[in-house]
A = this chain, B = another copy of it.
Amino acid sequence: MARPRSFDQDEVLRVTRDLFWSAGYAAARVDDIAAATGLGKGSLYGAFGDKHQLFLRVFDDYCAGVTEAVRRALDGPDAGAYERLRAHVLAVAEATAADDRLRGCLLAKGTAELSEQDPAVAARARKTLDDLDQLISSCVAAAQRAGDISPEQDPARLGGLLLAVLRGIEALGKGGRSPDSLRAIAETALAVLPRP
């Protein structure tokens, strides 16, 4: 043991995440990250490695956070599953609609920019989408068991469709569509879900 770190690692990662988030990976400068976090570049490199490793760390944390948030929103007993699903879909639309600076989602932005070239990013994105699909499909299945969604359709198929709608809402929000149209999409997706 010797001199301990003098900065709050979580805070540094949060600030770094925001820079990557709004600028993108390529356009974000390490000097800006150093300035925004208040760290010297030596500390940054010592603690997190180079720019790519730093991004990966931030991206990993972000993906884990998204997955956890969705899990908290959807997990629970069969009884309230449909209501949780409904609330989540509407909440995503509402959050996207409220994002007037068009910041969007770092998962979407990172994937769009890097998944073609960067296997680590691609793998993390794939795993996150798999997890989300799983969570949503499980919630659909729960709602079917509770009798709130028609059991005729495969829950995995309905879950996959809902995931696509959610990612679509995010993409359209980034594209500047109006809050009302985003809300309408969420409502319509819920309206066409087959009820028993």
Q: Please give the residue numbers on chain A whose beta carbons come within 8 Å of chain B beta carbons, in ascending order.
A: 22-24, 26-27, 101-104, 108-109, 111-113, 115-117, 122-123, 125-126, 128-129, 133, 153, 156-158, 160-161, 163-172, 174-177, 181, 184-185, 187-189, 191-194
Asked whether A116 lies within 8 Å of B104 as measured between CB atoms, the reply is yes
What separation, in Å, do the CA atoms of A160 and B171 have in the docked complex? 13
Copies of this chain in the oligomer: 2
Instruction: Assess A115 versus B174: contact at CB under 8 Å? Given A160-B184, A163-B168, A165-B168.
Output: yes
Instruction: Assess A126 versus B175: contact at CB under 8 Å? Given A26-B24, A153-B188.
Output: yes
Nearest chain B CB to A18 CB, angstrom units: 12
Partner of A125, one of B129, B160, B176: B176
Summarize A's interface: helix, strand, loop or mixed: helix
- For A153, the chain B residues whose CB sits under 8 A away are 188, 191-192
Of A22, A23, A113, A153, most buried by chain B (CB within 10 Å of CB) is: A113
Asked whether B160 lies within 8 Å of A188 as measured between CB atoms, the reply is yes
Asked whether A172 lies within 8 Å of B129 as measured between CB atoms, the reply is yes
- For A26, the chain B residues whose CB sits under 8 A away are 24, 26-27
Asked whether B169 lies within 8 Å of A164 as measured between CB atoms, the reply is yes
What separation, in Å, do the CA atoms of A171 and B163 have in the docked complex? 10
What separation, in Å, do the CA atoms of A106 and B144 have in the docked complex? 38
Chain B residue, CB-CB nearest to A193: B192
What separation, in Å, do the CA atoms of A188 and B168 have in the docked complex? 15
- For A189, the chain B residues whose CB sits under 8 A away are 161, 164
